[in-house]
Chain A
Amino acid sequence: MQILKTAAALLCAALAPAVLLAQQTDDFVPVDPAEHGLEQLPAAPMVMAAYAIVWLILIGYVWSLRRRQARVELEMAALRSRINERPGPEPRQP
């Protein structure tokens, strides 16, 4: 646990300069459109689409994790109440 916390702190510390550095880089480098005139496929929508796919997959995964977690918790609660209702051995508290 302690290690994790230290690692997280170190990560944050390491990240701060990275963000600062990135802001110091040059602004957009203008590209001569004539150079890229040959390109038929629009790059921007493709990059955007790729980025959207990443987000969709990650959000979808978070959603599926939440759903599975909720289902397990629901089932757990139902089982516990069933155990508590019946006489017999003490209900276990995990």
Chain B
Amino acid sequence: MSAVLRAAWLIARKDFTIEARSREIIATATFFAVACVLVFGFSLVTEGRAPEGVAAGVLWIGIAFSGTLSLGRLFERERAHDTLRTLLLAPIERPAVYLGKLLGVIMLMSAVGALLLPFTGFLFDQAVIRSFPGLAAVILLGITGYAAVGTLFAAMLGRSRSRDVLLPVLLYPMTVPVLIAGVRATSALLEPAGSDWETARLWIGVLVAFDAVFLTLALWTFEAVMEE
């Protein structure tokens, strides 16, 4: 078990080092997310005011859209140098490869989310600071579920044609529960009258269950899926 985790950590660290040097994905994904938020802002704001309760939705759309972008780029990098095959051939457990990539995706998406949350709160006048720990937990749980499915699909699509379009086509319907639960929990926490913890807890429960089930399912199927 610890060997698996160690290998996973090494793979994640490798991705982190590459990213820390070029900052390619983080920069593009963050600005893509910012652009998304702005587009939604322009399409929703009327007479200088955003309609109530859209901030959470806009935030999650930004996370989901930039998430597909990061996933695509992260695996494109592996594909360009055919390093995913090398990783799969390495004498480590296959699930370790999945876990390592997943860790990398979660780190990337969390970095984007960490920037996006204050930005959305700032633009849509939301009480982000008041409920920050709760929001951070919700976003992290949502990103984990999204990345758990996304990493498996992006890894599988590595070999196929038209992967750029197929990834969102497969991923968005599959992660509908994450999106619904994330948005509901976030808007419950951002209630202007004070955080509605009861509702938020309910949705956090949905997120935890989704994460657990799909993480297990992805770990279980990864080896079979990646067989050539």
- Chains A and B in contact, CB within 8 Å: no
